[in-house]
Amino acid sequence: MNQPAAGAPQRELSGLTAAAEKRLLIWLARRTPEPVGSDHLTLLGLLAMAGAGACYALAGRNAAWLHGVNVCLALNWLGDSLDGTLARVRNRQRPRFGFYVDHLVDALGALFLLAGLAASGLVSERIAVALLLAYYFLSLNIYLAACALGVYKISYGLFGGTELRILLAIVNLLALAWPRVTFWGSSVLLFDLLAGLAASGLALTALRSAVQVTKRLYDEERL
């Protein structure tokens, strides 16, 4: 439901796959059956993230469930990305409703996903919590900046939601072959290493953005 219209912040998307993804989503939206609406796709995205979390939890007993996580990530991309495009193509936009519900669903989806990952034993619970907090810190900064500046920044550099899903799917496949890796002479869980790096990266990105937005607002309003 990320549609830029009156009443909602303007989107800013510059991810590596953004241009190709936009063309694909428009193609899909024009071929989506009429009974299927944006709300159905939003619900699909949420249920897919819940399914991904459940598959992660099951992967603690059988690593083959990591393939199920990747299927759910693909379904989440479809629901989360296509809902807003479908609304725009059909000219049925609800900017305030869409902005609120879409990001509420994102927050719940992250909770489901990381709770399942923590339950799997593939990552330590402390690192899973750290990654969730870093994600929420970045999200909070994005939403506050959207309210203050009127611009909703979806991606940072080459990375947005789609790129992160692709990276996570690759990590899942790597974990099937190498659940543990050697780092600085010690054997560590692959997910511990990568999730720790991801948490640090998200936290630093959020902090940098917060400083930039604060400075911009200060410079614009100090007079």
pLDDT at residue 16, rounded to an integer: 72
| Residue-range domain boundaries for the chain | 16-221
Q: Three-class SS of residue 187?
A: strand
What is the CATH architecture assignment of 16-221? Up-down Bundle (1.20)
Over the chain, what is the mean pLDDT? Answer: 88
Share of the chain above pLDDT 90, in %: 62
Res 136 pLDDT > 90: yes
Q: Three-class SS of residue 131?
A: helix
- pTM equals 0.86
Distance CA 14, CA 147 (A): 20
pLDDT at residue 185, rounded to an integer: 79
Amino acid letter for position 100: Y
Between 62 and 163, residue with greater pLDDT? 62
pLDDT band, residue 13 (cuts 50/70/90)? low
Residue partners of 44: CB distance under 8 A and separation at least 6 = 75, 76, 78, 79
Span 76-130, pLDDT tens digits: 999 999 998 999 999 988 888 888 898 899 999 999 999 999 999 999 999 999 9
